[in-house]
């Protein structure tokens, strides 16, 4: 980790009234949850993401898509938030306002204690029916394997149950993106963590923050589609970098030195 860049990032946080953390799949990587593109490994490698994470893919083969989500839900259940999620929650004690806008569906930010979390792409532990979006609140056992699994049926209308996540070609939950965009426009610092920046409209949030005059800080193990619009690129795993950033800010506030 580059100490000079880290110090610049700590300085930007030190002056911020509102910080928005925009997180993607790389955020949960150190928890043991594969990133979205990596989740197509093994048995799932021969399917493309548009096929598995899309309404037409589900319509064509519900058991295949439900099986893939069951497999991933098992991973999420067996894993837990890491030091990076906790660092973002701690940041709330050091900055007047912090909001997390996440593309992740694992629920780890709330679990780690962040109080304002906008889930752009839904949550893997919530369910609805495919035909009518009826909320489905039934006990759904975790997968034991990672192959196709026939989805349960909606108790109200009998159509297939699906995860309450946002697939390609679907609208984001009403009002959520609008709130995220408004936070992005008015924040002083945006931390862009662990996203490839391929998927819209989430990838447009850093651009909204830039227009609003925010300092953009990216945390990623490698450059992304968004790196060239960043002010500071901190290369490294989210857990290490976010922990160092928040520790650096706390040290600065207590007068005990810099990061
Ligand atoms: C680490 C790390 C470590 C690894 N530490 N970092 C404008 C232009 C072009 C296309 C569109 C557009 N607007 C809309 C579209 C179409 C489409 C789209 O974006 N397509 C693109 C492929 C081009 N968007 C949509 O359809 C969206 N809906 C929409 O716009 O509605 C309006 C509309 C409706 C109808 C017609 C037209 C418009 C919906 C998008 C929903 C995306 N859903 C998914 C699935 C969610 C459920 C699930 O998880 O299964 O969301 S797709 C998938 O991608 C998932 C993720 O949230 C999302 C983003 O992925 P992310 O988080 O960036 O992960 P990765 O794997 O790509 O990258 C990981 C990163 O981490 C890498 O950079 C690593 O280096 C890094 N990393 N280890 C830090 N330890």
Residue 258 has pLDDT above 70, yes or no: no
Tokens of 74: 């098992």
Q: How many CA atoms lie within 13 A of 32 on its CB side?
A: 9
Give the tens place of pLDDT for each residue, 202-212: 999 999 999 99
pLDDT at 214: 98
CA dihedral 52, 55, 59, 62 (to 10 degrees): 40
Residue 42 has pLDDT above 70, yes or no: no
Q: How far apart are CA 71 and CA 244, in angstroms?
A: 33
Q: Which fold has domain 1-32+81-121+173-259?
A: Rossmann fold (3.40.50)
pLDDT at 27: 98
Give the tens place of pLDDT for each residue, 126-149: 999 999 999 999 888 887 777 899
pLDDT at 39: 63
* 119 beta partners: 102
The yes/no answer on whether domain 34-78+122-165 falls in CATH 3.30.1600.10 is yes
Q: What is the pLDDT averaged over residues 165-181?
A: 97
Q: Listing from the earlier edge strand, what are the strands of the sheet with 117-119?
A: 117-119, 97-102, 18-23, 189-193, 215-220, 232-235
Q: How far apart are CA 200 and CA 184, in angstroms?
A: 15
Q: Is the CB of 151 under 6 A from ligand 1?
A: no
Which is nearest to 54 in space by CA: 170, 136, 135? 170
Average pLDDT over all residues of the chain:
94
Residue 171 has pLDDT above 70, yes or no: yes
* Best of 23, 33, 35, 126 for a ligand 1 pocket test (most atoms within 8 Å of beta carbon): 35
Using a pLDDT cut of 70, give the percent of the chain over it. 95
Q: Kindly list the domain boundaries of the chain, sorted by start residue.
A: 1-32+81-121+173-259, 34-78+122-165
pLDDT at 239: 98
Q: How far apart are CA 148 and CA 67, in angstroms?
A: 4
Tokens of 102: 């996440």
Contact 215, 231 (CB under 8 A): yes
Q: Is the CB of 238 under 6 A from ligand 1?
A: yes
Q: Do domains 1-32+81-121+173-259 and 34-78+122-165 have the same CATH topology?
A: no
Q: Are strands 161-165 and 122-129 parallel, antiparallel or unpaired?
A: antiparallel
Residue 102 has pLDDT above 90, yes or no: yes
* Best of 168, 193, 242 for a ligand 1 pocket test (most atoms within 8 Å of beta carbon): 168
Give the tens place of pLDDT for each residue, 65-79: 999 899 899 999 999
Q: Which atom of ligand 1 is nearest to the CA of 38?
A: 66
């Amino acid at each position: 980790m580059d100490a000079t860049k880290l110090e610049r990032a700590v300085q930007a946080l030190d002056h911020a009234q509102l910080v928005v953390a925009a997180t993607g799949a790389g955020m949960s990587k150190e928890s043991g949850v594969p990133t979205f593109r990596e989740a197509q490994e093994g048995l799932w490698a021969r399917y493309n993401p548009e096929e598995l994470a899309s309404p037409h893919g589900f319509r064509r083969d519900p058991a295949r898509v439900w099986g893939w989500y069951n497999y991933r839900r098992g991973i999420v259940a067996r894993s837990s938030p890491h030091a990076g999620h906790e660092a973002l929650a701690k940041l709330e004690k050091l900055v007047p306002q912090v909001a997390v806008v996440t593309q992740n569906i694992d629920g780890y930010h709330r679990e780690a204690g962040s109080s304002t979390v906008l889930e752009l792409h839904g949550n893997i532990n919530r369910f609805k029916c495919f035909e009518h979006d009826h909320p489905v609140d039934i006990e759904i056992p975790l997968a034991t394997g990672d192959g196709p699994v026939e989805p349960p049926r909606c108790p109200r209308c009998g159509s297939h149950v699906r995860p309450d996540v946002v697939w390609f070609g679907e609208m984001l939950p009403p009002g959520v993106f609008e709130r995220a965009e408004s936070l992005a426009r008015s924040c002083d610092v945006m931390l862009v963590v662990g996203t490839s920046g391929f998927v819209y409209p989430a990838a447009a949030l850093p651009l909204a923050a830039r227009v609003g005059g925010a300092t953009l800080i990216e945390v990623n193990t490698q450059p992304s589609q968004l790196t060239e619009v960043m002010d500071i690129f901190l290369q490294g795993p989210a857990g290490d970098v976010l922990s160092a950033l928040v520790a650096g800010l706390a040290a600065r506030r207590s007068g005990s030195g810099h990061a």
